Amino acid sequence: MMELSMHILDVVENSTRAEAQRVSIAVTEDRKRNDLTIIITDDGTGMDPVTLKKVLDPFYTSKTVRRVGLGLPMFSQAAEKADGSFSVESKVGEGTRISAHFKHGHIDRQPLGNMANTMVTLIAGSPDVNFLYTHHTTKGTYILDTGEIKEELDDVPINNTSVLQFIEEDIVTGLKEIGADH
């Protein structure tokens, strides 16, 4: 994966497969401190301690369709290559928290990528999940809460094409206003 948004997509798709009803994606860019942080938290089924110890092993996966699980190991490697760190915390019945830190200006840091596309893909694929996406820079904070959007929509599904187009445009505009990477 060449962009961090693709790592986020992969991790959050795992959250939805783990029956998460709420997923939080927090991106913080602090160029003054040379820091980029991505924290993904879910309320899914979580992992037991044995599974948790294996998740960064590329030859381990809980999926039955393939024999390798490269998502988290590649995300971890991306953070480490950019002089950062990576951690996974999880408890059965409570959920999982993934934290990735990068040196923002590091030559090997992957670009953030298209977060608008990533979020629209997640919402379209898992309309029953509530996503909270926050993106903070020194110029401001952008917040997208699909729970709030669903309340405003009444009977219109959140994965309606017009709604998804509105959400995508809102994210693009919001991130541009706060000077976020892409």
Find the CATH number of the domain harbouring 10.
3.30.565.10
Q: List Cβ neighbours of 67 (8 Å cut-off, separation of 6 or more).
A: 59, 61
Structurally, how many domains does the chain consist of?
Answer: 1
pLDDT above 90: residue 34: yes
Parent domain of 64: 4-177
182 belongs to a structural domain: no
* Residue 38 · residue 146 · CB < 8 Å: no
136 belongs to a structural domain: yes
What's the pLDDT score for residue 181?
81
Q: Over the stretch 50-77, which tens digit does the pLDDT of each residue have?
A: 888 888 766 655 554 444 345 888 999 9
- Compute and round to an integer the Cα radius of gyration of the chain: 16
Work out the mean pLDDT of the chain and round it to a whole number.
91
99 belongs to a structural domain: yes
Q: How many whole angstroms from its chain centre is CA 87?
A: 14
Q: Over the stretch 71-119, which tens digit does the pLDDT of each residue have?
A: 888 999 999 999 999 999 999 999 999 999 999 999 999 999 999 999 9
CA distance 36 to 30: 6
How crowded is residue 64: how many other Cβ atoms within 10 Å of its Cβ? 6
* pLDDT band per the 50, 70, 90 thresholds, residue 11: very high
User: Looking at the whole model, is its pTM more than 0.85?
Assistant: yes
Q: In one letter, which amino acid is 96?
A: T
Q: From the DSSP assignment, how many helices (H) and strands (E) are in the chain?
A: 6, 6
- Alpha-carbon torsion angle 154, 156, 161, 162, nearest 10: -60
pLDDT above 70: residue 1: no
